[in-house]
Structures are given as structure tokens and as C-alpha cells.
Amino acid sequence: MPKPTYRLENPDTEVYIGDCREVLNALPEKSVDLIFADPPFNWDVPYGEWDDGQPREEYLHFTYQWLDACLRVLKDHGSFWVNIPDDTAAEIVLHLKQRGMVMINWCIWHFRFGQHRTGNFIVSKVHVLYFAWDRNNRIWNPEAVLEPSDRAAIYDDPRTRRTKQPGLRVPLDVWYGPLWGRIQGNNKERRKNHQNQIPEVYLERVIRSCSNEGDLVLDPFLGSGTTCTVARALRRRSLGIEYSSRNAQSAFERIRSGPVRLNATLSQTNSFMVHRRRGGNNLRNHTSDGLETPTE
């Protein structure tokens, strides 16, 4: 078992530097409760020492290797999440199904600012693949991630106030809304010199719904450190692996500092529709971020 380069206690938080395949294969079998992976997309992004422009067959071979290494350490009740774009989503889904995993959800992370292009439609999503070994024997905490339903937030339907969780629902499988965009520009979550950073609200939803306090959360591609940062704030143990020593140091500094937006969206609607209050001709419309807009 290798020693972590960085470590914090209460809860235990460890950061390893190296190839995730080697570190994962040195970990005990069935020792992890939740895995979240946001691997390199092989899009020629400058990740320091890592080659992000491999021939397709080499990249797929690498993908299958790290997937299998993750499966070896995942507990029987564990969940496995993968963040991946269009060009590799199908291969990962097929591989995990062939290994005996069950797909719980194929979610979509939608953002409004895709990179400009003219050769095809602008990409404004990433696939959020949610797998488990057993649908009926997995950690699942829906009450921890409930959000206002459209019926309550848009139409103020009185029937929603008579449900078990008044006005609330489990989130949809398309994830979007305030604070859900790509981390770029002057976003206060942004870490310098990190690529493709995922918003904290994304990891908060994954970690709250699929783990409990004290569980072990693993990220084989730690990057800017979002997974371990949020896991630690939510009282989960965590283990991150990062190929770049520079990125690992930056991620650890962030983990130690803590998240900047924990609990920021738990009671917030993310509907594209405006709010339509009851009251005849005195209706007032509201955008999903709470700002009033004129009625027609």
C-alpha cells in the first residue's frame, strides 16, 4: 500500500500522486463506498505530463484498465459515477454492463456556454453515468437532495403542499440551473491552471445521494480537488489520485480551505420556466434565479 503525498484527519482525506491504475491496484479490494471519475477526454487538453492526445485504441485501452481497477475496489453496495462526453459514453456503458454492473441513471449535465464551433452543433452537455452492483442493495439517500418541483415552484399548485415532502421532488436526470455552469472566467470556485473544473453543486448532489457520513469516497482523477473538497465538508472520508504533482498540490490546498458553495442550491428551483403566481390579473413572473420579470 503506497503512502499518500498529502493527508488530513477528521475525516481522513488522502491525496496520492501517480497513475491511478497503479494506485488503485494497490488498494484493498471492496474498500470504497462511492467512486466519482472525471477522466481525461483525450481532447488534447494540456494536463502537464499526461498525454491527452493518444491514438483512439490506446485511449480506450487506458479507459478499460482504469474502469476495471475501480470496480475491484468498489464495495458490493457501492455506486460508480463517470463524467464523460459523447464520444466515449457508449463504450463505457457497454463495458460496465459487461462487467455485471447495473445502470441506475444516464444523467446529463447541461451548461449554457459551450465552446464556439461551426462544423456541428455546439456541445452543451456531458454524460453523467450512474452505476451500481445491485439496484436493491446500494446507498441511496433521495431525501438529501430534494429540490422544489415544477408544480410547486412554477404553478404554486396547492396539491404539492399535501405530499409527504411538500413541494419537493427528487431531481430530474438533466442537471442545469444557477451555479451548475462550467467553472470559468471569474467564477469564485475557479482554480488557476486547472482544466474542465466541475461545479461543487454537482459533486454535492452525487456525494449526498450515494454515501453516508464516514463512508469512503474515491476520485481517480482528482484534478482541481472538487470531489475531496466537498466530501470532506460533508464528513465523508476521501481518497484522490492525481497524475500531476502540481495539480495535486493545488487540489490539496483547496481541500484544506474547503468549498465555497456548500448547500447553495438545496432549496432552489432550476426550472427554465418563469414562476406563475396565482391571483388572477395580479400574476407576477419570476425567473429561476428569483428575479422578477414584467408580466405580459
| Cα separation, 129 vs 80, whole angstroms | 8
Q: For the segment 57-75, what is each residue's pLDDT rounded down to a tens digit?
A: 999 999 999 999 999 999 9
pLDDT by residue (tens digit) across 210-227? 999 999 999 999 999 999
Q: What are the residues whose beta carbons fall under 8 Å from the beta carbon of 223, sequence distance 6 or more? A: 38, 194, 195, 196, 197, 242, 247, 251
Residue 284, pLDDT > 60, answer no
pLDDT band at 163 (very low <50, low <70, confident <90, very high): confident
* For residue 48, pLDDT beyond 60: yes
> Which of 186-190, 208-212, 272-276, 282-286 is least confident?
282-286
Mean pLDDT of the chain: 87
Q: For 46-60, 107-121, 185-199, 265-279, which range has the lowest pLDDT when averaged over its residues?
A: 265-279
Domain ranges of the chain: 6-293
Angle value at C-alpha 188, between 208 and 143, nearest 5 degrees: 15
Q: State pLDDT tens for residues 242-278.
A: 999 999 999 999 999 999 988 876 666 666 555 555 5
Average pLDDT (102-115) is 90
Confidence bin at 290 (pLDDT 50/70/90): very low
| Cis peptide upstream of residue 11 (ω within 30 degrees of 0) | yes
State residue 276's pLDDT score.
Answer: 58
CATH classification of 6-293, choosing from 3.40.50.150, 3.30.450.20, 3.30.70.20, 3.40.630.10? Answer: 3.40.50.150
Helix (H, G, I), strand (E, B) or coil at 133: coil
Provide the sign of the torsion angle of the four alpha carbons 253, 258, 260, 266, taken in this order.
positive
- Average pLDDT value for residue range 21-38: 98
Q: Which segment of 96-100, 150-154, 210-214, 228-232 scores lowest on mean pLDDT?
A: 150-154
All 3 cell numbers of residue 209? Answer: 445521494
